[in-house]
Chain A
């Protein structure tokens, strides 16, 4: 930890706005463009289409062929919408709330390794940073909910914060198991440790019989952390209108939306990095047919991690139309009395396995 603090103070001391390299800005811009494009295409259009097909509907069909331009029309509409700030709201909190949410979600993308050749900031505490920075969203949600001075918003915000904060415990302990298997918190290093010619057999999920437990715990907890069904009581539209963003309209609403889809990809990417090899190809070399070597490389890496992330987002959308919403007391029960004890069990078992079973 001392190292990272030193690095941080060095960064502040050596920082000069005039000497800011253009290349770095471009590196930071790539994830931003990625979030925007993915949220527009897969996030909004894809979710609406997938939801529709699961319910035997057609979904958006009017704008463009198969409704493909629907999201573009939505964005144009949101840009032109009047931005309403309630008279009784706390203006400052109301305005910065969506910003804090988005910046918190976007900062986590800084440490995601998109390919062997591309990572925004190769921190030696990358995994830890990702867990920590997501907690910044709690501040944004609370600012938005409290600043709105609306009962629905406040209830939604407080529920959401209690839920995110509670599920962070099993999620963090599950990722701790992954960190114990890797022996490092460096995101690129975690990926490199899972590469090999046998493809998926090198992934941490298949490296020990215990890894399934933290994998499942983290997946369930990550659903709650991004407020997805079945843990979507903060936005339960049948009881809370829209939760903490009830009063938002126009561009502020769009920013909240972008932040939510950003976090969805973020947790999906983390689960694929820690347990499913990140940018490593799952295909093994079979005798003379070197499938693994053929599908390894900077571009293939980006393809694999994005498809793994999209797969988990698909599962999140799928669960939304499969499971009913949990009640508040059931939510707390699942977190504190089921997931947390099991997370500790997996922590102890992983420690014993890693030390005594090589």
Chain B
């Protein structure tokens, strides 16, 4: 029976050791620390005020657009890494192919750029107009 692990087996040993380390840390702390919770202590921190509602709310759609653009480029990079190891043997033809592949995705980046999806919500300082107060009315009220 082969007793040695493959290289990914070594990674698994690292994984086990990491989990054991974190669990051991939690356990040691649990044996040493006091535990005296009370409702005020375990309430959600909101700068000393009582928490208003829950934090589990709908979130700005911009973050999802960023995630989408990221996935496209990340998949591209995944495909380019194997190519990077052999492109010198493959020569000019593979280079042109890789450039076309990257070029199509760069077009996608240009599209997102032109559409304004890469701009974060820009602060447009707009001073709200004060409703004009009829001067005569206010003076009459004061009387």
Please give the residue numbers on chain A whose beta carbons come within 8 Å of chain B beta carbons, in ascending order: 1, 4, 7-8, 10-11, 14-15, 19-21, 24-25, 27-29, 31-32, 78-89, 95, 98-99, 102-103, 106-107, 109-111, 120-124, 128-129, 146, 148-154, 158, 161-162, 165-166, 168-169, 172-173, 176, 179-180, 183-185, 241, 246-247, 250-252, 254-255, 328-329, 332-333, 336-337, 340-341, 344, 347-348, 351-352, 354-355
Residue in B44, B80, B88 whose CB lies within 8 Å of A86: B44
Q: A164 to B25, alpha carbons, bound, how many Å?
A: 27
Q: Are A79 and B14 closer than 8 Å at their CB atoms?
A: no
Q: Are B55 and A148 closer than 8 Å at their CB atoms?
A: yes
Q: Mark B10-54, 1 if CB is under 8 A from A, else 0.
A: 111111011101110110111011111101011111110001001
Q: Which residues of chain A are near B51, meaning CB under 8 Å? A: 88, 150
B119 in the interface (beta carbon within 8 A): yes
User: Smallest CB-CB separation from B99: which chain A residue?
Assistant: A348
The 3 closest A-B pairs by CB, nearest first: A329-B120, A251-B29, A121-B10
Residue in A107, A250, A347 whose CB lies within 8 Å of B102: A347
Main secondary structure of the interface of A (DSSP, over half): helix
Q: A83 to B3, alpha carbons, bound, how many Å?
A: 42
- Closest chain-A Cβ to B76's Cβ sits at a distance in Å of 9
Q: Which of A180, A246, A352 has the most CB of B within 10 A?
A: A180
Q: Are B106 and A7 closer than 8 Å at their CB atoms?
A: no
B91 in the interface (beta carbon within 8 A): yes
- Closest chain-B Cβ to A177's Cβ sits at a distance in Å of 8
Q: Are B25 and A255 closer than 8 Å at their CB atoms?
A: yes
B122 in the interface (beta carbon within 8 A): yes
Please give the residue numbers on chain B whose beta carbons come within 8 Å of chain A beta carbons, in ascending order: 1-15, 17-19, 21-23, 25-26, 28-30, 32-37, 39, 41-47, 51, 54-56, 59, 63, 66-67, 69-70, 73-74, 77, 80-82, 84-88, 91-92, 95, 98-99, 102, 106, 109, 113, 118-123
Q: Which residues of chain A are near B4, meaning CB under 8 Å? A: 21
Q: A333 to B121, alpha carbons, bound, how many Å?
A: 11
- Closest chain-A Cβ to B77's Cβ sits at a distance in Å of 4
Q: Which residues of chain A are near B56, meaning CB under 8 Å? A: 146, 149, 154
Q: Are B13 and A25 closer than 8 Å at their CB atoms?
A: yes
Q: A180 to B90, alpha carbons, bound, how many Å?
A: 13
Residue in B45, B86, B106 whose CB lies within 8 Å of A241: B45
Q: A7 to B7, alpha carbons, bound, how many Å?
A: 8
User: Smallest CB-CB separation from A155: which chain B residue?
Assistant: B55
Q: Are B45 and A246 closer than 8 Å at their CB atoms?
A: yes
